[in-house]
Structure 1
Amino acid sequence: MQPANLLFITLALIGVAYVLGYFRSRALAAPLGGIRHLKSLPGYYGVRAAMWCGIPALIVLALWASFESKVIQLLILGALPAELIPNTIGESSLLMSKIRNVASGALPAGFVEQPLANAAERLQVLEQTSKTYMSLLVLSIAVLAGFVGWYRIQPRLNAREQVERTLRWFFFSCAGLAILTTVGIVFSVIFETIRFFGMVPFTEFFFGTSWSPQVALRADQVGSEGAFGMIPLFTGTLLISAIALLVAVPVGLFSAIYLSEYANKRVRSVVKPMLEMLAGVPTVVYGFFAALTVAPFISDFANTIGLNASSQSALAAGLVMGVMIIPFVSSLSDDVINAVPQTLRDGSLALGATQSETMKKVIFPAALPGIMGGILLAASRAIGETMIVVMAAGLAANLTGNPLETVTTVTVQIVTLLIGDQEFDSPKTLAAFALGAMLFIVTLLLNVVALKIVRKYREQYD
């Protein structure tokens, strides 16, 4: 049985356990004079029985599904002849892909060695056996644990306390999982970055002005030594992001001020949804618009006034990206401004301040933390955008501050580096992790600076 089907069956058993636990509690309470003699409400007894049924079964299902492929791979590769056993993780992945293709029929068995054909047959047997045992084990645990939970229902049992304690542990586990995931991501990037700096000098990456990571496979090939200077990439990233923020922040912030303080209800009901619709447009559509409309217009206009402009430019990508992130600034800023208590507005106006002075001296300082949050979100969105840059700004890593020239960004190069080669043993592939680490540090520094700005204005306002 497939894990997805098994999950649905387990969820159905959880629902059955809830119903049986609910009605058992009511049946036990009936001879005593009703549910008022129960220690908890009947729903808690049902939830307790459902937890007994579901939690162990779902844990076993998750663990089995997580480690099934790894265990089967070890069994398959371990049974191969010594001369076919792979030496690296990349070779193991390629060999297992070949065996799986033979097992699925995508690759005829006659095109591979006989041991691999035998391994494909064994793979089919192991996968079928694994699914059978997994189904039997998970369903057996669900039924038996659900029965135990149902049988142990008693009128004096404090089911509410047990359910709430279990939920507290569940919420704590979710929070811990989020933290561990973040820590795991950081450490995985750090480890791969350290491997990269073991192959490429630290000074070349941070101070190099040339980016050409196309490392050749043989030393006698042209361009056998790549260049890994990150300055052109970060320059392009900052240039496009700055153009996008120069468009999005004024337009979004002034739109929010107008909609929240000056527009009537009819105008607000029309304009605000239209602005928020920009956030729902796919980035590939923005990319088409930038490549087919904005970039040619900028190129033609620049040539008209005597400037040299590339068919793909940072200005085109930045302008379209700025339009894309306007809702991140306008919607959040509008919500934050509306959240400022009306008593502050009334007090300022009662003291003789104009509406404009009230906005600048009272409302804006009070809403500044939320506004900064919206701007930071927009900046993160601009820094992490890939599709618009690929289609409107190109892939060339040029060290330039001219917005009319072709540039590229860090995220575009990360995607480019990770296409094809997945063995993570060459400077070309590991460079993606170094770029990701630097991008993470830059984003962290932006957050620290923004927090300092917010605290400064909060102190002034208080």
Structure 2
Amino acid sequence: MPLSLVLVVIVLLAALGYAMGRSRALAAGGGSARTLNSVPRYYGSYVALWAGLPSLVLLFIWNAADGAIIRGMVIDRIAMATSVTAPAALNLAFANVVNLANGALNSDGADPNLLAAAGYYNHLQDLSGQIAGALVLVLALCGLAYALRRVRPALRARNAVERVVHTLLMLSSLLAILTTVGIVLSLIFESIRFFTHVAPWDFLFGLQWSPQTALRADQVGSSSAFGAVPLFAGTLLIATIAMLVAVPVGLMSAIYLSEYASRRTRAVVKPLLEVLAGIPTVVYGFFAALTVAPFFRSLGQMAGLDVSSESALAAGIVMGIMIVPFVSSLSDDVINAVPQSLRDGSYGMGATRSETIRQVVLPAALPGIVGAFLLAVSRAVGETMIVVMAAGLAANLTFNPLEAVTTVTVQIATLLVGDQEFDSPKTLSVFALGLTLFLVTLCLNVIALRIVQKYREKYD
């Protein structure tokens, strides 16, 4: 039974349980909700949860476990049919079996043993779907019947439903935390593997980045240098240029929209400004590569400067334009949240509008504005497509914005393209880059939090 059909059946049974539970509660109370311990909709929700939640949990567990079980059974069959025992060869054979079963590989001329294993794989998949559908349906019906039998006026349906909702909210929060912990641990463990090949000192302070490694002893042309300083410098250079564009333009736009613009002007300008946030980054990359970069190159030639066709200046300016809506929209919301009483008090003291904005509104909105800046910095540091198309892939150690540079995220994306072997320093280096970027961002957030707390005390 297809997964989508199983989910539809569960949803229908839960909806049926809600209607039946609500009507049964009203019937048990003599048609009046006043005799019930809870509102009738809680009785319906109680029955719906019993009909849907256990079956959904069973379906999740089944889908999480059947893949590994089917994989083990198919690999055992392949090993018995072909006498292959090497784990790598068995994994490759299983991948071919899955591709044959899904139609991704042409079955003409394929190994008969693999074709038989592909048929066995499809049989197991169909059998697993049928068993899962039957068990889920039976469990949903049993939960529905059990909950309906418990519906009576004295049942504390509201308490039961709220306990379930509270548990689901807690599990959702725990899942988010565990996901973060898992990401950090994966970065740490893979980075440790990388640092067994490359010294941390050479990685953090090396001045040459050339991650190509030799696959054979007689291979040449692979320098295998993992000094990440050029990547950090390129990331810092482009992010700085972007922030020099986004921060003043975005903040001034927010001040104008919140303090000076009329309602009609604000209703037109604000949506138009926020349209920039919805443009795909690849479009910005095209704009930077085809328009902005040639424009700066022609300007440089007229001024007698050597401007690269792929420069940090072009990428940074276009990235700053992309980030303007983040700074503007968030700063505008924060400025509008400042109480009007602060403005009125400033005007009552004889301050002008500009003095009120500079000395009252902006200091009061400082925490939110700093948060907007941090979001913009994170967006600039994590951008990839614009840098690939406008700044290039060259790991040059330079702070000249007219030259080509690259960033940490671009190298991560470049090194993970195609089939990779996660045992080589070349591939493992991306985890070290990711961990370093994570730690730098974390330190910036902590510093910004301290700054916000220091200045916020004046306006509490």
Hey, what's the Cα distance between the residues in 2 that align with 1:288 and 1:128? Answer: 46
1:397 has 2:395 as partner:
yes
Equivalent AA in structure 1 for residue 149 of structure 2 = Y
User: Among 72, 95, 103, which residue is 1:97 paired with?
Assistant: 95
Letter in 2 for 1:129: L
Aligned to 1:343: 341
What pairs with 1:26-425 in structure 2 (closer than 5 Å)? 26-30=26-30, 34-81=32-79, 83-88=83-88, 93-109=91-107, 111-425=109-423
Alpha-carbon distance in 2 for matches of 1:365, 1:95: 65
1:129, distance to aligned residue in structure 2 (A)? 0.8
1:98-142 deviation digits (Å, cap 9, x = unpaired): 111222344344644443232212111111111111111111111
TM-score by length of 2: 0.96
User: Is the 8 Å Cα contact of residues 217 and 224 (structure 1) preserved in structure 2?
Assistant: no
- Matched AA of 2:233: T
1:20 paired residue number: 20
Q: Displacement of 1:223 after TM fit?
A: 3.0
CA distance in 1 between partners of 2:146 and 2:293 (Å)? 68
* Deviations 1:80-106 (CA, angstroms, capped at 9, x unpaired): 327523435xx5553322111222344
List gaps (5 residues or longer) in structure 2. Answer: none
Counterparts in 2 of 1:461 and 1:40: CA distance versus 1, 3 Å: closer
Larger deviation, residues 281-290 vs 61-70: 61-70
C-alpha change, 1:397 and 1:92, in structure 2 (3 Å) is farther
- What is the deviation of 1:151? 1.7
| Deviates most, 309-318 or 415-424 | 415-424
Could you report, residue by residue, the CA deviation over 1:122-166 in whole angstroms, capped at 9, with x for unpaired residues?
A: 111111111111111111111111111112111110101111111
C-alpha RMSD of matched pairs (Å) = 1.5
Instruction: Tell me, yes or no, if the aligned pair for 1:39 and 1:158 is still in contact at 8 Å.
Output: yes
- SS of the residue corresponding to residue 77 of structure 1 reads helix
**Match of 2:219, SS?**
coil
Distance in 2 of aligned mates of 1:307 and 1:182 = 47
Give the Cα separation in 2 of the matches to 1:131 and 1:201.
50
Distance, in Å, in 2 between the alignment partners of 1:390 and 1:86 is 40
**Structure 2: distance between partners of 1:370 and 1:53:** 45
How many pairs does the alignment contain?
458
Could you list the runs of 5+ residues in structure 1 that have no partner in the other structure? none
Verify: 1:3 aligned to 2:3, yes or no: yes
Preserved CA contact (<8 Å) 2:79 2:90: no
Contact 1:291–1:392 (CA under 8 A) maintained in structure 2: yes
Q: Which amino acid aligns with 1:390?
A: V
1:405-454 per-residue CA deviation (whole Å, 9 max, x = no partner) reads: 11111111111111113331111111111111011001101101111110
% identity of equivalent residues: 57
Cα distance in 2 for residues equivalent to 1:44 and 1:353:
56
Residue type of the alignment partner of 1:84: V
CA distance, structure 2, for counterparts of residue 271 and residue 48 of structure 1: 48
Shift of 1:355: 1.4
State the Cα deviation string for residues 235-293 of structure 1 (Å, max 9, x = none).
Answer: 11111100000000000001111111111222211111111111011111111111110
Q: Secondary structure at the match of 2:142?
A: helix
